[in-house]
Structures are given as structure tokens and as C-alpha cells.
Chain A
């Protein structure tokens, strides 16, 4: 009996079917590798080429990872407990502190946000933005 996709040749077991590889693409070096899909290929080298041809005919990228599917370990989809949130996690999030704005008003100031800092670092002059952080009555 011949197992599907496997042949015996001179005492060697030989796969005759291609293997499945999961494909991860990194768009720029400032980005993480992101899973985009999978390919079948006879070897990792060919999987890289096939991945480029299948997923990067237009988009630019700097790097591709391919991972044999059998090497991917994953959580189950049908066990919601895995991702259970036992209690409110607002205290971990920006949105959990929305009262800051109201509290700052008492001191005639505004709440500060990361976006403001990034924007100002990127050179928008504080006076011009009309939204100077901490600006009074803006």
C-alpha cells in the first residue's frame, strides 16, 4: 500500500506532494512580518519564490518568511476561554482615563496625548497648530 503523497524508492521514503508553507511579509523594516496566506512548494527555496510571485506582484516589501505549516502552533478557535476577559481592563487603556480632560479644565489646561507629542516632534510649530498642548482656551 502506498500512502498518499509518499513513495518508496530504494528503501527511501520520498514525498511526492508539495508541502504547505505559511507566508509572512514584512513591508518595511519598521513593520513586523505579517501573515498573508500560504503556498505549496517542494522546498523552502521554492516557497520563497512562489510567495513573492503570489503575494508581491504589486506591493513592495523588504523581507519574506515562510514557515512549514506543521511548525505553526496555534490556540484553538473554539475555546473562547482562551481569550476570556474576566474583568474590566479599562485601567490598562487610554480610554479608561477620559476624565483627565475634565479634571485638567479645572486648572485651565488640557489633557496631553501621545499623538500631540509625535506631531510636535515632527516639526509642526506649536504656535501654528492652533492646538498647542496645554494651550489655554484653544
Chain B
């Protein structure tokens, strides 16, 4: 079979709704698009643990401390599951787990803009769980029917745990929303800080050529804007019901078009934060990751070496 025929067979499989497995033949473009997506997803889970990890020692009660610790642990776990999927895709390109992490600490792979931002108050920890996880869940749930089998299976497990993150975040912000004036102010300020990064999180309004290719390959089925609108539908009424204001004076629902009109975020600013790791917390958090990776290298190597010593 020549390459074109193989490609046609592959597209026919996708049309029939079949899932692709790691060991199947796949077009190089499909592999690279998937790898880019899943690699970024994986490192975002890991970097996503940092803003909340900062609150583990400072959580207000023991119960809150245990819960946020569990959540941080989940996010690292998600990172591990996703790295496994990425590794198998990367293997034919000669890349290993070590390389995928090196890419992160050397700035060769991007992670989501929201995880470059600071989390200065306990309300930020709550709003991350509520709205950032909320946005991430919409993204991940929309990928559950992705054409790549190993990704779909891991997402199923991840989404099950995300439903805990959702309740966890809501519980924190509900406590603050029903609390003192000071707590309510803290919550409002956190919402003010997170709104714009959240709008950016879903990505550009237009369908980029790469996004279109992912849709063609059934890696994803929904556009950025469809997902952002879903987020608006679900969360705007809830945010308002708590008496909070959304920091966008032009935000309104266009009943005729059935969609939300919003002020676009500063695409350039956040784009650069993500591309050059130039956010308020980017370098500090990457530094922590680099420290963990490099300082523990000898442990990883010792573990491997203690097992295998076969004379050649």
C-alpha cells in the first residue's frame, strides 16, 4: 500500500467512528498534532498543581488541607497518566519521558496560561477549583469522544476525578460567598483576577488551521468558541447568583443569536506569557519543577541501575 492509500484507509476508519491505537499506523501529521495536544495537556496538569500547592501549608482548616492536598495529588496523577499516552506517541520520534519533562523545564512546550498566574489569597484557591477546573472540565469532557483510544480512556478516568474537583472548589467559594464582608470581598477580587485569563484559556475565537486539522482527524469535535460559550452558559448565571460581578461591562447575552457577547482578552499579553513563560509565576514554578527533576535524577538512575546489571 502506498502512503496515499494508507491515508485514505485511515480516514475511512475515522469516518466509521473507529478508535486509533498506539500500535496502529497513523499519518505523521495525526501523531504530531496529538502529541502536541497531549504533551501540553500533561504538563499543564503538572504545572496546574503549583498554584494550589502553595495553599496546602496555609489552608484554613485541617479538612481543607486534606482536600486540597488530595486535589494536588490528583493533578500530578493526571499528569502521569497523560505523559504515558504522550510517551507512546513520542517513542517513534525517539523521545522519552525524560525528554518530555526536559521540554517543559527548557521552555519547549507550553502550558495553559491560567497556571502562569499567581494565587495570592485563599479565595484564589477556591476560584481555581471552581472556575479553572470548571473550564478545564468542559475542555476535557469535549475530548472524551476523541478518535485516539488511549487518550479517550485516560480522559474518562480524569473526568471522574474532576467531578470531585468541581465539588471541592464550589464548596470553598460557597463558604466564602456566605461568609463575612471581608470574605466576600476576597472572593470578588479573586473572580476579578481570574476572569480574563479564563476567557483566554479557551483559545482564539477563530478556528486556526491546526485546530481545523484536529477537527478533520476527529481528535476534537468542538471549536474553542463553542466550548467558551458552554462555559458562559453554565457559569455566568451561577457567578451572578452569588451576588458577584463579572469584570466585563460589555458582557451580555444576545438572545437572537443565542450566544454571549464578551470583551476579548488581551490576546497578545497572554500569548506572550504562554509562549515565553513570562507570566508573574512562570519562572518560579518552572524553577521548582526543574529543581525536582534535576535534584532527583540520581535517585531515578540509582533505582534503574540497582535492577539491571547484565554483562554484555
Query: Is the CB of A126 closer than 8 A to any CB of chain B?
Result: no
Stretch at the interface among B80-88, B127-135, B178-186, B280-288: B80-88
Query: Is the CB of B295 closer than 8 A to any CB of chain A?
Result: no
Q: Which A residues touch B96, using CB under 8 A?
A: 4-5, 17
Q: Mark B1-31, 1 if CB is under 8 A from A, else 0.
A: 0000000000000000000010111000000
Q: Report Cα–Cα, A17/B297, bound state, in Å.
A: 11
Whether B94 lies near A4 (C-beta < 8 A) is yes
Contact A12 to B84, CB < 8 A, known contacts A18-B300, A77-B23: no
Q: Which A residues touch B251, using CB under 8 A?
A: none
Q: Report Cα–Cα, A42/B300, bound state, in Å.
A: 7
Stretch at the interface among A33-41, A88-96, A113-121, A129-137: A33-41
Closest to B13 in A: A78
Q: Which B residues touch A53, using CB under 8 A?
A: 77
Query: Is the CB of B309 closer than 8 A to any CB of chain A?
Result: yes
Q: Mark B273-312, 1 if CB is under 8 A from A, else 0.
A: 0000000000000000000000000001101111111111
A72 CB to nearest B CB, Å: 11
Q: How extensive is the interface on chain A, given as a class?
A: 20 to 34
Q: Which B residues touch A50, using CB under 8 A?
A: 80
Query: Is the CB of A112 closer than 8 A to any CB of chain B?
Result: no
Whether B24 lies near A15 (C-beta < 8 A) is no
Within 8 A of A (CB), among B28-64: none
Within 8 A of A (CB), among B218-251: none
Q: Which A residues touch B21, using CB under 8 A?
A: 77
Q: Mark B86-98, 1 if CB is under 8 A from A, else 0.
A: 0100000010111
Q: Which A residues touch B153, using CB under 8 A?
A: 37
Whether A37 lies near B311 (C-beta < 8 A) is no
A interface secondary structure, majority: mixed
Query: Is the CB of A127 closer than 8 A to any CB of chain B?
Result: no
8 Å CB contact of B304 from A12, A16, A39: A16
Query: Is the CB of B252 closer than 8 A to any CB of chain A?
Result: no
Q: Report Cα–Cα, A58/B165, bound state, in Å.
A: 13
Contact A12 to B73, CB < 8 A, known contacts A17-B96, A18-B300: no
Q: Report Cα–Cα, A50/B153, bound state, in Å.
A: 18
Q: Report Cα–Cα, A43/B306, bound state, in Å.
A: 9
Whether A15 lies near B304 (C-beta < 8 A) is yes
8 Å CB contact of B311 from A12, A38, A78: A12
Q: Which A residues touch B309, using CB under 8 A?
A: 12, 14
Contact A17 to B24, CB < 8 A, known contacts A37-B84, A43-B303, A57-B70: no
Q: Report Cα–Cα, A20/B311, bound state, in Å.
A: 22
Whether B310 lies near A17 (C-beta < 8 A) is no
Q: Which B residues touch A54, using CB under 8 A?
A: 77, 80-81
Q: Which A residues touch B98, using CB under 8 A?
A: 17
Q: Report Cα–Cα, A18/B73, bound state, in Å.
A: 21
Q: Which A residues touch B94, using CB under 8 A?
A: 4
Q: Report Cα–Cα, A42/B302, bound state, in Å.
A: 9
Query: Is the CB of B157 closer than 8 A to any CB of chain A?
Result: yes
Q: Which B residues touch A36, using CB under 8 A?
A: 157
8 Å CB contact of A57 from B25, B77, B312: B77
Whether A40 lies near B74 (C-beta < 8 A) is no
Query: Is the CB of A11 closer than 8 A to any CB of chain B?
Result: yes
Interface residues of B (CB under 8 A from A): 21, 23-25, 70, 73-74, 77, 80-81, 84, 87, 94, 96-98, 153-154, 157, 161, 300-301, 303-312
Sampled A-B contacts (16; CB under 8 Å): A13-B310, A14-B305, A16-B301, A16-B304, A17-B98, A18-B97, A20-B84, A38-B84, A40-B87, A42-B304, A43-B304, A43-B306, A50-B80, A54-B77, A57-B161, A77-B24
Given contacts A16-B305, A17-B97, A53-B77, 5 further A-B contacts (CB under 8 A): A4-B96, A16-B301, A18-B97, A36-B157, A57-B161
A-B pairs, top 9 by smallest CB distance, nearest first, are: A42-B303, A42-B304, A43-B307, A12-B309, A13-B312, A77-B21, A15-B308, A17-B96, A54-B77
